[in-house]
Amino acid sequence: MDQTKRMKELVQRLNQASKAYYQEDREIMSNLEYDRLYDELLELEKQTGTVLANSPTVHVGYEAVNELPKEAHESPMLSLDKTKDVEVLREFIGTQKCLLSWKMDGLTIVLTYRNGSLEKAVTRGNGIIGEVVTNNARVFENLPLKIPFQGELVLRGEAIINYSDFEKINEEIEDVDAKYKNPRNLCSGSVRQLNNEITAKRHVRFLAFTLVRAEGENFENSVEHQMVWLKQQGFETVEYRVVTSETLDDAMEYFSTQVAENDFPSDGLVAVYDDIAYGESLGTTAKFPRNSFAFKWADEQKETTLLEIEWSPSRTGLINPVAIFEPVELEGTTVSRASVHNISIMKSLELGIGDRIEVYKANMIIPQIAENLTRSGVKDIPAECPACKGPTRIQMVNDVETLYCINPECPAKAIKTFTLFVSRDAMNIDGLSQATLEKFIGHGYLQDFGDIFELDRYREEIIQMDGFGEKSYENLWQSIQRARHTVLWRVIYGLGILNIGLANAKMICREFDYDLDRIRHATVEELTGIDGIGEVIGQSLVSYFADEKNNRKVDHLMTHLELEKPEETGGSQKLSGLTFVITGSLEHFGNRSEMKNQIEALGGKVTGSVTKKTSYLINNDAASTSSKNKKAAELGIPVISEEEFLKMIR
């Protein structure tokens, strides 16, 4: 291929990938692929002596999005030159003493303090202009808002979200397509929120890695002295080791072992000369500072054979390709599958069944395909959705080819309803997480709720699935068996009928004496006659049971259930006619849901906001200045503690 033509192609692909990564928080190629193409472009530029306009080798990042105020940095924030070769890193160190630290994988922030207070926080942006995120920085978990130093201080660091917090936040997102792919994407979105209340809930931390300026301070020409001083000011700094070319190997052994244990995301190491004057005397290139150098882990790669492409449907209709290959050991664990993300990536790799592929773990964590050695070509993109056998269509979304199921009745699109059905307040089936439900639906095992109780038909297939085995299957099946014995309000709530919450389901069942047939044939007038049931709720229930398909699904489900009628005792309705709002922390009840269940069991009602119809606001902190307490005071509604509530029901 003509060298200039190839360079143009590489510039376009790399800039497109950078824009997706930095501006849109999405990945359209792996880090390994990006580095490979970048190095190829760099080599071509050396060979030809030509650098094209907009080449990523001379441009840093992309323009910041314009939702937040922009501000120019006082000095450009350049990228770091990098290597995967320890000997190249040793050559950089030479005869100097260096600080070797983690290269954090988050969002770089520049902080300015004046008179001991945080004055400004700006993101890296394109290296020249960043976004002002001061309000968001104020709610970082570990960032000091006041420091002893009273002069002007400018420092740089990385905003990160730990893996453990990332996983917890992702678990709370019901929509699988809305889940974040990695902590960096979550951190970037969290730091750049317009409402810092959201940032505060995301557990963002800040690790300082560079002191730019501290007015009037003497650091004895040492970066290490700067880091120690920053700790004394209350900053958490990135972990580092002081190294020379002779001690580099011991430090590398420590970091390479520790990286697998870290709870925070990092994608390599950074070496910086301890001698500040020496580092500054070296100046910079057009793109890189010469006083520091990055080391990226040489990903362990293994060759294996592609066995199949599994197509995994989701609730939006998107069908994701997943590569299944002969198991290999990578970074200490066995892996046999890797997401390919979309058809465009499949085509760029020319993936075909039986191909010899090289796989690795991006940042030692996420399995990826590095290269396809035989490139037989993409074949057999499914014309049918694996979940519903409905038609599929290839669509172009953000310049990326993706596969979609176009059947509006596809059960994969109803993943939220299945997730609700098995939840604790509904059928309470342990072992059916959203991820497991997605697998079962994707394989065509679940069309409606009744199919859950017939999963034993697929016992052998399930045992062979990733993450399953004999014991996991038996535990799941026992949980399903226990769920057969239940009460009607759990079923009504679990059906996911529009506007029917747990409290409404209980009231309706109680009113109709736990008779499903009566509920099915109830009129809007009968339903709105129940205290607390309005016309919208009544119409939702009537409309649901007016649909013959829904009735068939319920009939199928009921063949597997044994309903018990709750015993009503004389004193069980002592809270009838009362409406409660619960706020603040609880001491006697495990959580609000537990307290809510107690109130509803005694005939009461629980709502989320204080209105004229509220009977009591339950809050252990009666003196709280929360909005609910203020509203209760305005309306003259009593605020009671848990102790007072318990006395009431005794």
Q: Which residues are part of a known binding site for NAD(+)?
A: 79-80, 124, 158, 296
Residue 157: both structure tokens together:
């660091």
Report d(CA 26, CA 23) in Å as an integer: 8
To the nearest 10°, the Cα dihedral for 443, 444, 448, 451?
-80
- Among residues 82, 103, 596, 628, the one annotated as catalytic is 103
Phi, psi (deg, nearest 5) at residue 239: -65, 140
Distance CA(314)–CA(478), nearest Å, equals 27
> Backbone dihedral region of 595: left (phi > 0), alpha (psi from -120 to 50 degrees) or beta?
alpha
Q: How many CB atoms lie within 10 A of CB 435?
A: 10
Are β-strands 616-618 and 129-131 bridged in parallel, bridged antiparallel, or unpaired? unpaired
Q: Tokens at residue 454, please?
A: 């017939």
Tokens of 60: 């840093």
DSSP reduced 3-state for 330 = strand
Torsion 305-307-308-314 (CA) sign: negative
Rounded CA-CA distance 609/632 in Å is 10
Beta strand spans in 331-465 (E): 333-339, 356-362, 366-372, 392-397, 400-405
Both structure tokens of 183: 């902590």
Contact indicator for 617, 628 with CB cutoff of 8 Å: yes
3-class secondary structure, 607? strand
Instruction: Summarize the annotated binding site for Zn(2+) as residue ranges.
Output: 385, 388, 405, 410
Count CA atoms within 13 Å of residue 634 on its CB side.
Answer: 10
Residue 190 · residue 196 · CB < 8 Å: no
For residue 107, count CB atoms less than 10 angstroms from its CB and return exposed for 0-12, middle for 13-18, buried for 19 or more: buried
344-358 b/e with 16+ CB inside 10 Å = b? bbbebbebbeebebb
Instruction: Report the alpha-carbon distance of residue 289 to residue 239 in Å, rounded.
Output: 21
Per the annotation, the verdict on 97 as an active-site residue is no
SS3 string, 439-507, reads HHHHCCCCCCHHHHHHHHHHHHHHHCCCCCCHHHHHHHHHHHHHHCEEEHHHHHHHCCCCCCCHHHHHH
> What gap in Å lies between CA 20 and CA 25, rounded to an integer?
6
Is residue 315 a contact partner of residue 324, using CB atoms and an 8 Å limit?
no
CA distance 272 to 290: 9
CA distance 5 to 281: 38
Question: Which residue from 363, 368, 309 is spatially nearest to 335, judged by alpha carbons?
Answer: 368
Tokens coding 623: 């003196």
Beta bridge partners of 330: 333
Q: Which are the catalytic amino acids?
A: 103
